[in-house]
Structure 1
Amino acid sequence: MKGVYYDKSKQLWMAHYKDPLDPSSKKRDISRGFKNKIDAERWRSSEQTLLDAANRGDMEWTSWQEREAKRQMELARRNTQFETYAYRFVEHFKQGKKTGTGRVYDVALRHVLEMPFTHGRVCDITEDEVQRWYYGDALKNQPDAKERTYQMLKRICKKAIEDGLLEKQPCTLPHVKHSKRGRHNVPLITYEELQIITDNMPDWCRIFPYTAAMLGLRISEVCALQRQDFDLTNRRVHISHGLNRGEGDRGPLHLATPKTESSDAWLFIPLRFMPMLTEWLHTHVKPEPDAMFIESPANGYDIASPNTIRDYFKKAACIAGRPDITPHQLKAAFSTYASRTSDGPATQKAITRHDSLEVEAGYWRQDEEAQRKAVDAAGDLMMPPTDEDYRKRIKALEEERARLVAQLDQF
């Protein structure tokens, strides 16, 4: 057959033809090798058919390499299993992320793989199946987890589209915002409830509820505190660490960078919290600068486990009649009380270490005295009133009564 010959040096049957897209007079030779003559002649014949169709204008010419790549992609699209693809995607997606974040992604992937339609091929996932899962009973009582799971599925499918494994996105529901309504409706903790919870914590971590509430700290930030972080002379504490585990989120806890850049900060300690804090440092914390503020009761471990403290806190909260209160609600309580007493967004941002007011706060100026007043007032709201508080309140009411009587006399 014309266009087919045997190449002794390559020990292959070569099928070849001139490149129809080459504009030069001496067109480039296109060839492909085969182990036997029949395959070479069959391929050369099929290529000639396509060449003739392209010359007639019946089709647009593409090279055999492009067609082979497309065929391989289609083959991969048809055969790629979702579970294998999803595992590979999440492992790559976790790179560069904090261990805790990676753990959240792993949980979301686990829920994704619990979906009834994720055990087959990637290309078989449909929009109807996704919507039936979303509006079904799966994770019905865990709206936040359901949203994270859906978003993870959406990310996986988006990458599958980029890789040519899916033709269109099956996750077409509009972006669902975090379901924070439930946690926002949790009533603020009162000082009586805070005291009851504290009284029912084990002695080795009894300081935790007040520390989290008075300073507005995450549970891992409290567990990461060391003696050297406290500057009692100036009533300040340095939040410079979070917690992490080893590679693969395994092994003992160790100090790590804070959750966000804004989390690393010097905070003022409320005046009313100073006696309790000072006593704890004197009676429960070793004298070494790097001694842990809350030391683990487990042998061989210095850092207390946030999960262990969280479990004790949950039991104590139930005793206080507030099973809806979590450790993170203490941080929320601090932010709420501080918002009622601070002098503006700049101070609020500084003492809560949140970035949501960053743009507005950039136009404000504040000083350390404003921060001291704000944290002192917030701390006062979370402690039982003293005799002096009642005297001040009575005096204020008497002054208000005198002012109103004077106004009444003018009538």
Structure 2
Amino acid sequence: MGTKFGSVIHRADRGTFRAKYTYHGEVITKTFKDRLSAEAWLNGERSRVEADKAGITKWTSPTDRKRQEAAVKRRRTLFCDYVMDEFAPTWLNYATDGSELASGSKRKHREYLQHLTHSFFWKYPLTSITTEDINRWLADLDNFGGATPRKKTFQLLKAVYSKAVAEGAVAKSPVTMKAPAVPKSRQAQIPPATAEELQTIYANMPSTTRISVWLGAILDLRIGEVVSLQVQDWNPKTQTLRVCHSADVNGQLKSTKTATSNTTQPVPPQLGKLIDKACEDKRPTDFIVTCADGTHITPNRLRDHFNEAKTKARRPDLHFHTLRATSITAAVATGASLKDTMQWGRHADAATSIERYQRASGTERMREIANGIEDTLMGHEPTREELEAEIQKTKERLADLERQLDALK
């Protein structure tokens, strides 16, 4: 049926009515379920066209109008609504690869989101928050309770705006600054344990838990992973140990900290013998490291054993987690590359491995290089003290070799 403005065509095969008109060279169409709705829409469009011709309001196509309406709606969207409705539901529960977060990671995400909800711009429109607003928010460390929560919350904010830009909710992100720096933690600055210190700690721990020292220092395992190892995780034929669980503070099994933490570690021969012994007369589902009565041990209880023994080694500053740094340091000393360190350390991000690698190959290695260059270019006349120290070291080494020989006899 024709009209003075456009037309309405009945499409019998689909049971619909298509309204159509042409203006400024564009063919504009829209489909309706009934004729009255189609004609009403055409009348509205005719009014827009006539207003444009009269110079009253500029005509735009329905598509452009819809886009403009969406833009207006976005400008009215509050930051808090966008975060809670569009971003948080996924971010709180899932990693970027789609896997579900561990309970500890979920707890941390909730903590960082809580910090963000306390920002003064929380109820600002999404499009009105400026770089200056963010800088002012970041300047007050008390907002976050520490440097690390501040950095993590900043990264959350940056991720929110990355999503908003990708979806067209904002033209560009106001988060243009670098992430706030985080000072190195005290624990990260603790020197690794020496071989002698590890032997002393091992000797002063209960027989059912002492193997944990080498599981941490040689295989680079976290304390939660150590207490979760079961007999069935040990393969004596291939001399490998499967790391597939961690434990919460109550000792309940859970997923490893990250997907990269879930792996199978090669076990060197001496440690393999200790694992064989720890697995003797146990069922496949029994744990390798246990309390004295054979029951499952919690991370905190194992930590108590370690902390008591470390004082015997005169290293009260050590943490069980320092054994991971010890392992990396030893790996670098054997010639491990940065790539090797990343794989051995099972770190979720390269930055952690780089930091550990640089620390392990840093100051002391540079000193060794400097001393070697000096000896090569200048020559070196050893002092009496240096000679005496070297003699003492040689005597100790000789005594150790004689003990090993006696043991073989």
TM bracket (short chain)? 0.5 to 0.7
Residue 67 of structure 2 is aligned with which of 53, 66, 69? Answer: 69
Quote how far apart the aligned CAs of 1:167 are: 3.2
What SS class does the counterpart of residue 156 from structure 1 fall into? helix
| Aligned position for 1:130 | 134
| Aligned position for 2:363 | none
CA deviations 1:197-245 (Å, max 9, x no partner) are: 77897887554344312332122331332224445688x4423423389
CA deviations 1:130-158 (Å, max 9, x no partner) are: 11222211476643332222112101111
Quote how far apart the aligned CAs of 1:297 are: 10
Cα gap change, 1:205/1:19 in structure 2, threshold over 3 Å: closer, same or farther?
A: farther
Structure 2: any 5+ residue segments left out of the alignment?
12-16, 354-392, 401-409
Quote how far apart the aligned CAs of 1:64 are: 1.1
Contact 1:17 1:30 in 2 (8 A): no
Which letter maps to 1:65?
A: T
Aligned equivalents of 2:343 and 2:41: distance in 1?
Answer: 76
Residue 242 of structure 1 is aligned with which of 236, 240, 245? Answer: 245
Cα gap change, 1:113/1:44 in structure 2, threshold over 3 Å: closer, same or farther?
A: same
| Aligned position for 2:48 | 46
Aligned equivalents of 2:38 and 2:224: distance in 1?
Answer: 68
Aligned equivalents of 1:127 and 1:350: distance in 2?
Answer: 35
| Aligned position for 1:333 | 326
Aligned equivalents of 2:70 and 2:273: distance in 1?
Answer: 72
Identity of aligned residues (%): 22
Cα gap change, 1:127/1:36 in structure 2, threshold over 3 Å: closer, same or farther?
A: same
Residue 114 of structure 2 is aligned with which of 86, 110, 114? Answer: 110
Cα gap change, 1:136/1:15 in structure 2, threshold over 3 Å: closer, same or farther?
A: same
Aligned equivalents of 2:66 and 2:342: distance in 1?
Answer: 60
Give the paired residue count.
Answer: 343
Quote how far apart the aligned CAs of 1:171 are: 1.3
| Aligned position for 1:293 | 288
Q: TM-score, length-normalised on structure 2?
A: 0.61
What SS class does the counterpart of residue 153 from structure 1 fall into? helix
Q: TM-score, length-normalised on structure 1?
A: 0.61
Aligned equivalents of 1:275 and 1:67: distance in 2?
Answer: 75
Contact 2:202 2:213 in 1 (8 A): yes
Aligned equivalents of 2:335 and 2:141: distance in 1?
Answer: 46
Which letter maps to 1:49?
A: A
What SS class does the counterpart of residue 246 from structure 2 fall into? strand
Contact 1:154 1:171 in 2 (8 A): yes
Contact 1:240 1:257 in 2 (8 A): no
Aligned equivalents of 1:117 and 1:324: distance in 2?
Answer: 42
Residue 3 of structure 1 is aligned with which of 2, 5, 21? Answer: 5
Quote how far apart the aligned CAs of 1:333 are: 0.9
| Aligned position for 2:344 | 352
Which letter maps to 1:288?
A: R
Contact 1:224 1:255 in 2 (8 A): no
Bigger relative contact order, structure 1 or 2, given CA contacts below 8 A and separation 6+?
A: 1
Which letter maps to 1:118?
A: W
Aligned equivalents of 2:307 and 2:118: distance in 1?
Answer: 29
Aligned equivalents of 2:211 and 2:175: distance in 1?
Answer: 46
